[in-house]
Structure 1
Amino acid sequence: MLSYVRVAVDSKPEALLQLMLREWQMERPKLLLTVHGGSENFILPPKVNQAFSKGLITAAISTGAWIFTDGINTGVSKYVGEAVKLFGGHDLRKRNTIGITSWGMIDNNLDLIGRDVFRPYQPLGNPLSKRTCLNGFHSHFLLVDDGTLGKPGCQQGLRRKLEKQIQLLKIHPLFILLISGCIYLRSSFRRLNQGVPVLCVVVEGSAAIVSTVLDYVSSAPPVPVFVFEGSGKAADLFAFLHKTSHFILRLNKWILSAN
């Protein structure tokens, strides 16, 4: 059984967090893994898929993390769902994988209308529809409604506000297991006893991911970004730029020392 709530796009993040902790009785996170990437279906090379799937769930389980995705049954969110299925254990509600999804983008969303009721939901969409289905291997969903239909992206602003609200939660120091098989752009976590660390994970992704990553690394404090090289598109571009920048820095140091 999955838990979900339909919320307004201007909902207060502190109210959403209290709902998650009190009504849904989710365990307080010690780490937040926020996964971004391609929303359309794409193929991950087997080695990258294995590194991503096993690494993500191992990191989440070992640290008591929450995982944020778009919650849809395509793209990187689908890969997260498959990772949860393979490596997440049998108790779905303890996996704490939260899909934050645009209400207007969900196929058959009228089937979900109701208050304190159980609703059957079939995650098989109409292939001719421009909308998508929810991924059934997530444990919870925040369905963000801005009054539009078939328009993606309205959830991103509220998702970011909720992430910042979660960062304010006080936690005890913990050991963070870094995900293997990836390249990081920033690695400056805050002191762990000040609040919940947030880690952005990028897999594939379109040009829109560039502004998302820029927002994370330029925030105060900056959010570390882990990029899975070999997953394609934006992720591979970030990996290339990361390697190139380090090469240029080393080259400049060599030129200066030679002079």
Structure 2
Amino acid sequence: MTHHPAQNRQETNQLYTSIGVISHGTITFAEDTSNPAKFISIPSNASVQHVKELLFRQWCSERPPLVISVAGGAKKYTMKPKLLKAFRSGLLKVARTTGAWIITGGTNTGIMKLVGEIVQQNPDRSRPIHLIGIATWGCVSGVEQLAVRGSNVVYPKSHSNASGEAPLEPNHSEFIFIDDGTARKYGGEIEFRAQLTQAISGGFFAPRSACSVNMETPSKAASQSSRPEKPVPVILLVVEGGPFTVKTVHEAVVQNNIPVVFFEGTGRCCNLFAKAVRLYDDNRRNFEDTEGASP
């Protein structure tokens, strides 16, 4: 079935209304003026199902075969050369061969900057990688420029280094900004990001009863489809990281049943988690015997 531009715009506007979009448009970065990034800013309680539908039907045009959500430190970080080589080649290979989406915090700092630089090295420009940034609206440098409705915003290369703010990473293809009413307070996007990735998964890792709930799509456009959606595998990949990464892991694993992979050796909380997992694996039999013992 062929969709005409006018029909696509109408469906997009309907989704924007359902989501409660506050502002939307495109961002042109000084580093690459040929590929504007789409963006929306939305309230923190926006429907993840409608945002998922926007990604599937409008922004990215299709359901992804895999989603890799990357979390880690937002401060300046230098990875050891051997680890960097493995991380770069592995991430790029998976994204290129599978068509996976990559989700990050979207700013030009720490691990997010590193992921953006890796995606920029994609040699096949005919198959662009969807790199989706989910950030807190009040923590984006120059965010006042983005308070538009359908306009293109030219995002300058240089921004102030005010505390609690960070510029956007220019290699991202889509941005979702969570406006929780705060200014210069990081972490407002963490819960929404975990819920959205779980919604995208369609309950891939959830119990059967939970899967039936997550598969529901409330919009009229989705209800017109007679084919049930197939679940999408989603993983959280942790590289280095601090307190906000700990919260991200909790929201993903404990609250939304999303599996996590720790890139051990990258430092800080990632190494701590990896050590804890290994300790548990080494002593699993003892733990199970203790839990099964009669009081």
TM-score by length of 1: 0.80
Correspondence 1:232-243 to 2 at 5 A: 232-243=267-278
By how many angstroms is 1:242 displaced? 2.7
- Check conservation: 1:38, 1:205, Cα contact below 8 A: yes
Structure 2 SS opposite 1:199: strand
Instruction: Name the stretch that deviates more: 134-143 or 81-90.
Output: 81-90
- Where does residue 176 of structure 1 map in the other structure? none
- Where does residue 216 of structure 1 map in the other structure? 252
Query: Do residues 44 (structure 1) and 79 (structure 2) align?
Result: yes
- Check conservation: 1:201, 1:226, Cα contact below 8 A: yes
Q: Kindly provide the amino acid, as one letter, of the partner of residue 10 in structure 1.
A: N
Distance 1:237 1:25, change over 3 A: closer
Q: Kindly provide the amino acid, as one letter, of the partner of residue 242 in structure 2.
A: S
- Where does residue 155 of structure 1 map in the other structure? 189
- Where does residue 131 of structure 2 map in the other structure? 97
- Where does residue 4 of structure 1 map in the other structure? 39
- Where does residue 203 of structure 1 map in the other structure? 239
- The one-character-per-residue Cα deviations of 1:20-61 (angstroms, maximum 9, x if unpaired) are 223324331111111111111111111111211221121122
- Check conservation: 2:66, 2:99, Cα contact below 8 A: yes
Structure 2 SS opposite 1:87: coil
Query: Do residues 22 (structure 1) and 22 (structure 2) align?
Result: no
- Counterparts of 1:54 and 1:40, CA distance in 2: 23
Query: Do residues 75 (structure 1) and 110 (structure 2) align?
Result: yes
Runs of 4+ with deviation above 6 angstroms: 250-253
How many pairs align? 229
Instruction: Name the stretch that deviates more: 51-60 or 67-76.
Output: 51-60
Q: Kindly provide the amino acid, as one letter, of the partner of residue 242 in structure 1.
A: V
By how many angstroms is 1:216 displaced? 3.1
- The one-character-per-residue Cα deviations of 1:112-137 (angstroms, maximum 9, x if unpaired) are 22222111002422134431111001
- Counterparts of 1:251 and 1:62, CA distance in 2: 41
Query: Do residues 145 (structure 1) and 151 (structure 2) align?
Result: no
By how many angstroms is 1:138 displaced? 0.7
Q: Kindly provide the amino acid, as one letter, of the partner of residue 178 in structure 2.
A: V
Correspondence for 1:53 among 72, 81, 88: 88
Q: Kindly provide the amino acid, as one letter, of the partner of residue 112 in structure 2.
A: S
Structure 1 stretches of 5 or more lacking a match? 171-192, 254-259
Structure 2 SS opposite 1:117: strand
Correspondence for 1:134 among 160, 163, 168: 168
- Where does residue 167 of structure 1 map in the other structure? 201
- Check conservation: 1:33, 1:68, Cα contact below 8 A: yes
By how many angstroms is 1:250 displaced? 7.7
Distance 1:216 1:5, change over 3 A: closer
- Counterparts of 1:218 and 1:54, CA distance in 2: 30
By how many angstroms is 1:90 displaced? 2.8
- Where does residue 261 of structure 2 map in the other structure? 226
Q: Percent identity?
A: 33
Distance 1:218 1:79, change over 3 A: same
Instruction: Name the stretch that deviates more: 225-234 or 243-252.
Output: 243-252
Instruction: Name the stretch that deviates more: 223-232 or 119-128.
Output: 119-128
- Counterparts of 2:115 and 2:100, CA distance in 1: 14
Structure 1 SS opposite 2:121: helix
- Counterparts of 1:159 and 1:251, CA distance in 2: 36
Distance 1:113 1:88, change over 3 A: farther
- Where does residue 188 of structure 1 map in the other structure? none
- Counterparts of 2:98 and 2:191, CA distance in 1: 26
Q: Kindly provide the amino acid, as one letter, of the partner of residue 16 in structure 1.
A: V
- Counterparts of 1:124 and 1:89, CA distance in 2: 28
- Counterparts of 1:134 and 1:73, CA distance in 2: 5
Higher Cα Rg: structure 1 or 2?
A: 2
